[in-house]
Amino acid sequence: MGISPPPVRLTLGVLTLCVSACGEQPSDARAPDLILLNAQVATMNAADSIAGAVAVSGNRITDVGTTEAIRLLAGPHTEVIDAGGNTVTPGFIDTHNHFAWGALGDRSPLNIEYPAVTSIDDVKEQVRLAVDNLDAGKWVIGSRWDAGKLLEQRDLTAADLDDVSPDNPVWLLHTSAHYGVANTRALELAGIDAGTPDPDGGVIGRDDAGNPSGILADQAMALVAGITPPVSVEDFVRGVTEQVGLLNAEGITTIKDPEIDQRHWDAYKTINENGDLSVRVFVLWRVPDTMTEARELLQHIKPILNPGGDAVDLISGGVKIYIDGSGTARTAWMYDDWNENFTEVDEGNTGLTYLETDLLLAQIRLFHEAGVHIGTHAIGDRAIDFTLDSYARVLADKPTPGLRHSIIHSNLPTVHAMDLMVKLQRDYDAAYPEVQPAFLWWIGDAYAGNFGSERSPQVLPLRTFQERGIKWAGSSDFDVSPYAPRYALWAASARETMLGTYGENPWGTDESISVHETLRAYTINAARQVFLEQKVGSIEEGKLADIVLWDRDLYSIPVAELKDVKPVLTLLNGEVVYRASN
Ligand SMILES: [Zn+2]
């Protein structure tokens, strides 16, 4: 592989040297602040070694070695933690987490996320309660419903919502964030009726008579979402500040927030200045639809783009482009028709592209030629091929190694796509899939039903990635699926859906991988996708001390138990950002 490996420090050797050469130093001054002993330290270093203990001083990892050796370093003020044989990992890096938006969802008065709701009647009841507390005409906004987890196994309709909210406009975003449902009042306010054509890259759902059903997918969502009450910088500041500690409680120390605009950036800056940002944040700016706007964005962000620079807490890192829709709305761009209910065919539906393909390629070219890291959303096999062919083309025209362009989701890559991943990773340090293993579980029933019986076993081919040496990074896509990485550790191995609607294992287990492989995807591989692999992502001497002690040995527990593991301690920069209460 042409990728330059991260710097390797032979920490065991250094430790031995230090113990002998530094022995006469006053032990106080040099003693670590904290040592973790009797651990399975998954270092994620180049040798992929497991150590027994780690020492932290200030914001750095100062030594990694055996329990016996590290114990000798302790001074009177060193906090000594016996891990009891449990696993210690680098802090988790979630390479796709819409946290600014998702934190607002957690603050919504309306809880329509499974298992708080299990039927359409439950959703209606939540909307009714919300309407009771609102003045006439005020909006009801909610998110995270999923037809695949509702008793009726169908999407909500405007008529469902009209029953409980005839006068207040309602907009409920599906958990995929690629479609939603509006009631009749909201459709009226948006000016949507039977005569309204589908916008480019979007679908207005219609009933058998051709009237709008309330469902709006992809670029059609903006018709209603664009007239909902605006969300302010202060809203994002409040939401993130209140929720960010929950990420630490699941072992997350870095996120890549992949779709920001100026409000999110201003909010993250404020939270960071307030000292309340207890995760590192690397952001991608959403590229607007026209070339003129895309050029304006480039000019606007150019002065503050700094991936791989000195900043380690808040990084303006690159841009995000959408190629296609989603697997839940069957709008991702496919070669063959989507399925329905696992074995039926959604005749004539091969999904959509967000923009004309010429325009998408022009946008990729614009940012690539400006030297900007690009994350491209591509779910369907055809969208993924298009993304990789585009990357290959712009890289051939302007070879620029090290931009690490990614394929966000990369759900159903073809052999051609994987060939290009291998080649572009090797030749240009680009074309890395950023993958969400928990999709298989959290939205897995709807997903498997849509991909169908033949394609489902090829969705998220993580075993093939491993075997072909394709580096990929782990992520949640919160709030599409929950951010806790324990779900991904489990799902990448178990490949089970939540409800088993189409049998116990519609995905099959040929593409299952080990917990260690997923750990690497969420740590050192993920660190590369936020350009921080020299500083975090592994437990090596000299790196920033982003470390998690887990409550179990992740390597020896049954796979099913991975879903329940919890951090005992999470360190960011050597500071405790989470400690379990007992
Ligand atoms: Zn996303």
In the predicted structure, residue 310 carries a pLDDT above the cut 60? yes
- How many whole angstroms from 36 Cα to the centroid of ligand 1? 36
- How many whole angstroms from 441 Cα to the centroid of ligand 1? 16
Indicate the pLDDT class of residue 28, thresholds 50, 70 and 90.
low
Six token digits for residue 468: 């072909």
To the question of pTM greater than 0.85 for the whole model, the response is yes
In the predicted structure, residue 436 carries a pLDDT above the cut 50? yes
Pairing of strands 567-572, 575-579: antiparallel
Q: What angle do CA 318, 381, 523 make, to 5 degrees?
A: 45
- How many whole angstroms from 76 Cα to the centroid of ligand 1? 47
- How many whole angstroms from 69 Cα to the centroid of ligand 1? 44
- How many whole angstroms from 476 Cα to the centroid of ligand 1? 8
- How many whole angstroms from 35 Cα to the centroid of ligand 1? 37
- How many whole angstroms from 9 Cα to the centroid of ligand 1? 35
Six token digits for residue 131: 């309407």
| The predicted structure's pLDDT at residue 504 | 82
In the predicted structure, residue 27 carries a pLDDT above the cut 90? no
| The predicted structure's pLDDT at residue 29 | 62
- How many whole angstroms from 258 Cα to the centroid of ligand 1? 7
| The predicted structure's pLDDT at residue 107 | 74
- How many whole angstroms from 286 Cα to the centroid of ligand 1? 11
| The predicted structure's pLDDT at residue 389 | 98
Indicate the pLDDT class of residue 105, thresholds 50, 70 and 90.
confident
- How many whole angstroms from 167 Cα to the centroid of ligand 1? 32
What gap in Å lies between CA 290 and CA 545, rounded to an integer? 42
What gap in Å lies between CA 262 and CA 248, rounded to an integer? 25
| CA torsion, ordered 292, 297, 303, 305, to nearest 10 deg | -130
Burial-class residue 485 by CB neighbours within 10 Å (0-12, 13-18, 19+). Answer: buried
Percent share of the chain, pLDDT over 90: 93
What is the identity of the amino acid at 175?
A: T
| CA torsion, ordered 459, 464, 469, 470, to nearest 10 deg | -10
- How many whole angstroms from 10 Cα to the centroid of ligand 1? 38
- CA nearest neighbour of 75 among 15, 25, 41: 25
- How many whole angstroms from 422 Cα to the centroid of ligand 1? 24
| 3-state SS class at 4 | coil
| 3-state SS class at 333 | coil
| The predicted structure's pLDDT at residue 108 | 80
- How many whole angstroms from 477 Cα to the centroid of ligand 1? 5
Distances 415 to 7, 300, 428, 454 between C-alpha atoms, Å:
32, 38, 19, 16
In whole numbers, what is the pLDDT of the chain averaged over residues?
94
- How many whole angstroms from 326 Cα to the centroid of ligand 1? 10
- How many whole angstroms from 335 Cα to the centroid of ligand 1? 22
Query: Are 91 and 252 a contacting pair, CB within 8 Å?
Result: yes
Q: What is the mean pLDDT of residues 542-557?
A: 98
Q: What is the mean pLDDT of residues 473-499?
A: 97
What gap in Å lies between CA 243 and CA 248, rounded to an integer? 10
In the predicted structure, residue 22 carries a pLDDT above the cut 50? no
Instruction: Show the domains of the chain with their CATH numbers.
Output: 1-90+539-582 (2.30.40.10), 94-98+233-536 (3.20.20.140), 103-225 (3.10.310.70)
- How many whole angstroms from 58 Cα to the centroid of ligand 1? 35
| The predicted structure's pLDDT at residue 327 | 96
- How many whole angstroms from 475 Cα to the centroid of ligand 1? 10
- How many whole angstroms from 173 Cα to the centroid of ligand 1? 14
| The predicted structure's pLDDT at residue 1 | 33
- How many whole angstroms from 259 Cα to the centroid of ligand 1? 8
Indicate the pLDDT class of residue 487, thresholds 50, 70 and 90.
very high
- How many whole angstroms from 342 Cα to the centroid of ligand 1? 24
Phi, psi of 340 (to 5 degrees): -140, 145
Q: What is the mean pLDDT of residues 543-560?
A: 98
- How many whole angstroms from 128 Cα to the centroid of ligand 1? 30
- Name, in order, each residue with C-beta under 8 angstroms of 545's C-beta and a sequence gap of 6 or more: 56, 59, 60, 61, 571, 573, 574
- How many whole angstroms from 346 Cα to the centroid of ligand 1? 25
- How many whole angstroms from 260 Cα to the centroid of ligand 1? 11
- Name, in order, each residue with C-beta under 8 angstroms of 461's C-beta and a sequence gap of 6 or more: 413, 418, 511
| The predicted structure's pLDDT at residue 181 | 98
What is the identity of the amino acid at 125?
A: E
- How many whole angstroms from 97 Cα to the centroid of ligand 1? 7
pLDDT digits (tens, 9 = 90+) for 352-390: 999 999 999 999 999 999 999 999 999 999 999 999 999
Residue with token string 């706007």:
293
- How many whole angstroms from 483 Cα to the centroid of ligand 1? 12
- How many whole angstroms from 96 Cα to the centroid of ligand 1? 6
- How many whole angstroms from 378 Cα to the centroid of ligand 1? 10
| CA torsion, ordered 278, 531, 465, 458, to nearest 10 deg | 60
- How many whole angstroms from 153 Cα to the centroid of ligand 1? 24
- CA nearest neighbour of 89 among 38, 46, 47, 39: 39
Which letter does DSSP use for residue 496 in this model?
Answer: -
- How many whole angstroms from 288 Cα to the centroid of ligand 1? 16
pLDDT digits (tens, 9 = 90+) for 238-259: 999 999 999 999 999 999 999 9
What is the identity of the amino acid at 27?
A: S
